[in-house]
Structure 1
Amino acid sequence: MTAPTTYRLDLPYQRPPLTANQRMHWARKAKITRAVRHAAKVAARNIPALGRCTVRLVWTVTDRRRRDADNAVPTLKACADGLVDAGIVADDVPALMTKHMPEIVLGDTAGLVLIVEPLAPEVTP
Structure 2
Amino acid sequence: MWICIPTLPPSLNEWSRKHWRVRHRAVEEMTNNLRLLALAVNMPKIERAEVRLVYYFRDRRRRDPDNYAGKFILDGLRKAGIISDDNAGVLRLPQPEFMVDRQAPRTEVWITEWKE
- What is the TM-score when the length of structure 1 is the normalising length? 0.73
Partner of 1:78: 72
Tell me, which stretches of 5 or more residues in structure 2 are unaligned?
none
Q: Is the 8 A contact 1:89 1:96 kept in 2?
A: no
Q: Is the 8 A contact 1:53 1:89 kept in 2?
A: yes
- Structure 1: which 4+ aligned runs deviate by more than 4 Å? none
Partner of 1:34: 28
The answer on 1:21 being equivalent to 2:16 is no
Partner of 1:115: 110
Q: Secondary structure at the match of 1:93?
A: coil
Partner of 2:48: 52
Q: Is the 8 A contact 2:27 2:76 kept in 1?
A: no
Partner of 1:94: 88
Q: How many residues align?
A: 111
Q: Quick one: distance in 1 between partners of 2:29 and 2:44?
A: 22
Partner of 1:65: 61
Q: Secondary structure at the match of 1:21?
A: helix
Q: Deviations over 1:19-72 (max 9, x none)?
A: 221212221122122222333333444321222110022111232222223222
Q: Secondary structure at the match of 2:12?
A: coil
Q: Report the structure, 1 or 2, having the larger helix content.
A: 2
Tell me, which stretches of 5 or more residues in structure 1 are unaligned?
1-6
Distance 1:37 1:19, change over 3 A: farther
Identity %: 30
- What is the TM-score when the length of structure 2 is the normalising length? 0.77
